[in-house]
Structure 1
Amino acid sequence: MATSQLTASSMTVSVRNLASFEGIRPSSVKFSSFGTLKPGSLSQRSFKRLFVKAVAVVAPKYTSIKPLGDRVLVKIKEAEQKTEGGILLPTMAQSKPQGGEVVAVGEGKTIGKTILESSVKTGAQVIYSKYAGTEVEFNGSNHLILKEDDIVGVLETDDIKDVKPLNDRVFIKVAEAEEKTAGGLLLTEASREKPSIGTAIAVGSGTLDEEGNRKQLSVAAGNIVLYSKYAGNDLKGNDGTNYIALRASDVMAVLS
Structure 2
Amino acid sequence: MAAAQLTATSVSSRGLPTFEGLRPSAIKIAAFAPLKQGLSQRCFRPLVVKAATVVAPKYTTITPLADRVLIKIKEAEEKTSGGILLPSTALSKPQYGEVVAVGEGRTIGKSKIEIGVKTGSQVVYSKYAGTELEFNGSNHLLMKEDDIVGILETDDIKELKPMNERVLIKVAEAEQTTAGGLLLTEASKEKPSVGSVIAVGPGPLDEEGNRKPLSVSPGNTVMYSKYAGNEFKGKDGSDYIVLRSSDVMAVLSS
TM-score normalised according to structure 2 size: 0.81
One-letter amino acid matched to 2:58:
K
1:91 aligned partner: 88
How many equivalent residue pairs? Answer: 220
Of 16, 19, 30, the residue aligned with 1:2 is 16
Aligned 8 A contact 1:2 1:14 in 2: no
1:153 aligned partner: 150
In the alignment, the residues of structure 2 paired with residue 12 and residue 160 of structure 1 have an alpha-carbon distance, to the nearest angstrom, of: 30
Structure 2 residues without counterparts, runs of 5 or longer: 1-14, 19-23, 35-43, 45-49
One-letter amino acid matched to 2:140:
H
Structure label with greater radius of gyration: 2
> Residue 182 and residue 67 in structure 1: after superposition, are their counterparts in 2 closer, same or farther (change >3 A)?
same
2:47 aligned partner: none
Of 109, 118, 128, the residue aligned with 1:131 is 128
In the alignment, the residues of structure 1 paired with residue 72 and residue 138 of structure 2 have an alpha-carbon distance, to the nearest angstrom, of: 7
Aligned 8 A contact 1:2 1:13 in 2: no
Larger mean CA deviation between 83-92 and 141-150 belongs to 83-92
CA drift of 1:62 comes to: 1.1
Cα RMSD for the two superposed structures: 2.3
Residues 21-68 of structure 1, C-alpha deviations (whole Å, 9 max, x = no match): xxxxxxxxxxxxxxxxxxx8xxx9xxxxxxxx9742111111111110
Aligned 8 A contact 2:74 2:94 in 1: yes
> Residue 54 and residue 164 in structure 1: after superposition, are their counterparts in 2 closer, same or farther (change >3 A)?
farther
TM-score normalised according to structure 1 size: 0.81
Identity value in percent: 71
One-letter amino acid matched to 1:156:
E
In the alignment, the residues of structure 1 paired with residue 228 and residue 177 of structure 2 have an alpha-carbon distance, to the nearest angstrom, of: 25
Counterparts of 1:94-109 in structure 2 under 5 Å? 94-109=91-106
CA drift of 1:236 comes to: 1.0
Residues 142-200 of structure 1, C-alpha deviations (whole Å, 9 max, x = no match): 10011011100000322111000010000000000001011100011111111000000
Aligned 8 A contact 2:26 2:52 in 1: no
In the alignment, the residues of structure 1 paired with residue 74 and residue 208 of structure 2 have an alpha-carbon distance, to the nearest angstrom, of: 35
CA drift of 1:18 comes to: 4.2
More strand by share: 1
Q: Is the aligned partner of 1:247 residue 2:244?
A: yes
In the alignment, the residues of structure 2 paired with residue 224 and residue 246 of structure 1 have an alpha-carbon distance, to the nearest angstrom, of: 14
One-letter amino acid matched to 1:2:
L
In the alignment, the residues of structure 2 paired with residue 134 and residue 245 of structure 1 have an alpha-carbon distance, to the nearest angstrom, of: 21
Aligned 8 A contact 2:96 2:122 in 1: yes
CA drift of 1:19 comes to: 5.2
Structure 1 residues without counterparts, runs of 5 or longer: 5-10, 21-39, 45-52
